Amino acid sequence: MSGYSAKQVLDQLSRPGEHPVLRGDLALVGLPGLVYTPAAGLGLPAVAFGHGWLQPVERYRALLRHLASWGVVAAAPGTQRGPLMSSRLLAGNLRTTLDICTGVRLGDGDISVDSERLAVAGHSMGGGAAVLAATEDERVRAVVTFAASEARPSALDAARRVRVPGLHLAGGEDRIAPPVGHAEAIAEAWAGPVQLRMLPKTSHLGFAEGRHWSELLLDGKGERAAQKLARALTTAFLLRVLKGDKRWDALLDNDVKGAPLTYQRSASGAIAATQTQHVSR
């Protein structure tokens, strides 16, 4: 969409893509969770998504389905659901999910994933787990987080070793993981190309879909405006980094209403050029 404004690209990427979508269950191959894929396609990109603290993976179904409609296999392990959630173990589950995506022929054999086009993403503690996974798996080419929270081991320390492109979305009304000590600090420590976008009116749970009893314990609730922005920005970022698709650069390169750029290192062209870089060991 060369020549289109950021708003026009946002509107386009907020709508489902052209691919019919299939839904599957990771439990069939030994790991609880969900997987959404385009109905067909070989050598596809894939992303493994980590859920937030106490959040079921079903709260991210629309995001996973949306990515699949744009040609990205999207899978979310349904592990580490208890109050003693381990970001370290969830990071390992994200890596296992990538193993499944690349090692198992999906659908009826009409779908395969390119091991050179892999990403990790996550919300809250799942965002911290995604950062940890990126330091442990040299296949990871991109990282996306929503309201990322610090983890054990430290996601902030891990960020200093991640050289692949990162996109971090933070909520200005997040009282569980305030950006200044979590997403903002992670973005500023990032070793590779990075963007931080602040959604000023979004709470910690704004990125999670629907309603859930955990809202009694945590701050905020699902917010459709935040989810729309997250879907569009994540889609643009993954298509740019994993596939070199430049049509959505206007969205990545500019401020967007409701999600201004608050920190950036390197332009989108530099971000796309890092496909072959790995995590510093």
Residues 220-230 have pLDDT tens digits of 787 999 999 99
Burial class (CB in 10 A: 0-12, 13-18, 19+), 224: exposed
- Per-residue pLDDT for 236 more than 50? yes
Beta bridge partners of 47: 74, 119
Enter the tokens of residue 196.
Answer: 């931080």
Query: For residue 34, what are its two tokens?
Result: 């969900």
CA-based nearest residue to 125, from 92, 91, 100, 150: 150
Q: Which H/E stretch holds residue 119?
A: strand 111-123
6, pLDDT greater than 50: yes
152 phi and psi angles, rounded to 5 deg: -125, 115
Sequence-distant (6+) residues with CB within 8 A of 84 are none
What region does 175 belong to: left with phi over 0, alpha with psi -120 to 50, or beta? alpha
As separate numbers, helices (DSSP H) first and strands (DSSP E) second, the chain gives 9, 9
Q: Which residues lie below 8 Å from residue 269, measured CB to CB, with a gap of 6+?
A: 249
Short-list 115, 134, 99, 168, CA closest to 280: 134
Structure confidence by residue, pLDDT tens digits, 199-222 = 999 999 999 988 766 766 677 787
Query: Pairing mode, if any, of strands 21-25 and 140-146?
Result: unpaired
Q: What rounded mean pLDDT belongs to the chain?
A: 89
Strand partners, 195: 167, 264
Q: How far apart are CA 13 and CA 248, in angstroms?
A: 9
7 pLDDT exceeds 50?
yes
- Go through the chain and tell me how many residues it has: 281
What is the structure's pLDDT at 215? 65
9-24 burial, b at 16+ Cβ within 10 Å, e below that, comes to: bbebbeeebebebbeb
Task: Work out the average pLDDT over 29-47.
Answer: 93
Superfamily for domain range 6-265: Alpha/Beta hydrolase fold, catalytic domain (3.40.50.1820)
Share of residues in the chain with pLDDT > 70 (%): 90
Burial grade of 217 (CB within 10 A; 0-12, 13-18, 19 or more)? exposed
CB count within 10 Å of CB 48 equals: 32
Mean pLDDT confidence for 168-196: 95
Lowest mean pLDDT among 45-54, 191-200, 214-223, 233-242: 214-223
> From CA 126, how far away is CA 146, in angstroms rounded?
9
Tell me, what's the pLDDT at 269? 40
- Structure-token pair, residue 98: 């990538």
